[in-house]
Structure 1
C-alpha cells in the first residue's frame, strides 16, 4: 500500500518572506508611531495651584492680619462651597441679551433677576434653618452628651472624695518605706527629748540601788530638820558643772563637794557589801 494522497485543502502556498504577516499586522498597528495631534503641552493641576498660591502670597504681602484672614476665609468658602453641603445650591440663571433689547434694558433685567434670586435664597436658607430636623437632632445629641459627661465627672469626683475619707481612718499615711537590705531590731526610739516634754522614767529601766539609798537618806535628813549647807556661788567656767566637766576646771568649793559626795557613795557601798557578806556567812 502506498502513502495516502493529501486532499486539495492541504495544498497551500508558503510565502518566501518569513516576516510578512499581511494586512492583519497593518490593522493591528494602525494609529501607532504617529505625530502628536497637539504639540503644546498643558500645565498640570499642581503647577496651577502653585501659581495661584504664589499670586495670593504677593497680594497678601502688604495686607493687615485681619484683612488676610478675611481673604483666606472668603477663598476657602469659595473653594469648598459644595463640599459637604446638605442642600443643593440655587441654580444661577444665564443672561443673554434678546434681539432688539437695548443695553440699558438688558442691564436692568439682569439687576432685577439677581436681586430676586438673592432674596429667594435668603428666604429659603431662613426656612431651612428654622425647620431643620437634622440640626435639631444634632443639638439634642450634643446636649445629651454634655449632660452625660457632666454626671460622669461628678461621680468620679465623689468617688475620689470617698476614697480620701477612707484613707483617713486607716494607717495608709503612717506606712514606712523599707529600703532594700534594711534591718530593724526594735521599734524606733527618740534619742533627744522634746523641748517642753516632761521627763518620765522608762518602766523597763531600773535605777541603781545605791542611788535610791542616797535619795532616801537625803529625804530623812530633810525631815529631821537638818538644813543643807548653803550653796556656794559657782565660779564661771567654760562648761556647765556636771558630767563631762574636767576637775581642774571646777572651783575648790565644787571640788570639795564632789569629793564629799563620792566618799559618801563609797561608804554606803562598803556598808551594803558588809551586810551582804554577814548574811551569807550566817
Structure 2
C-alpha cells in the first residue's frame, strides 16, 4: 500500500510536464499575429519607427486619416447608411439577388419613413450664430479700443496744459536786467516782525545771537593781548617747523656726500 501511494505524485508531475509540452506545441502551431514581431522590439525603437512612418506619409495624409473617422460618425448619425453589395464565395446567384433586393427594400422603407430635414435652415442657423458671436467680440474689442484712445487723449491734454503753465513768453529783443523777484510768499514760511534785527547767517546756523553792545576798554585790552599772544605762538611754531626742515635737508645732503 505504501508503494502505490508513493508512485502517485510522480505520475502527477509527469502529467503536468506533458500538458505543458502540448500547450507549447499548440502555441507554436498557431499562426503568428501581425503585431507579434513588434512586442520583442524595445518601446523607444518602436516610437522612432512610428515617427519615421508618419514623416514618410506626410502631413496631408495624416490630416485625412484624422478627419475620416469624424466624417464617418456624422454620416452614420445623420444619414441612412448606403449598403455596398459583394457576393460571397459560397453564395449562389439567387441568394445574392434576394439579399440585394431585401437590403434595398429596407433602405427604401427607412427613407420613406424618415423625418423631414432641412439642412439649409440648419446651416443658416449656424451661420447666424457664428456671425452674432463675431459681432459681439468685435463690439467688445472696439469698446476697449475706444476707451484706450480716450485715456490717451486725456493724458496728452494734461501734459500739454502743464507745459503751457510753465512756459514763459518772451518778446523779440527783450533783455532781462535782473533776476525775477518772487512776490508770492511760500505757505510754510515763518512769520517775521518788521522791527526784528537781521542776524548773520553763521549765527543763525549756530543758534547764537550777535551782541550789539560795545565792549568796555578793559575787555578790548584783554582781547588785544590775547590776539598778540596767539600771533606770537603761531610765529614760533612756524619758525620751529622751518628749522626742523632745514636740519632734515642738511642730514640728507650729508648722507648723500658720505655715500659718494
Higher relative contact order (CA 8 A, sep 6+): 1
Question: Which structure has the highest helix share of the two?
Answer: 2
Q: Shared topology, TM-score over 0.5? A: no
| TM-score bracket relative to the smaller structure | 0.3 to 0.5
TM-score, normalising length from structure 2? 0.34
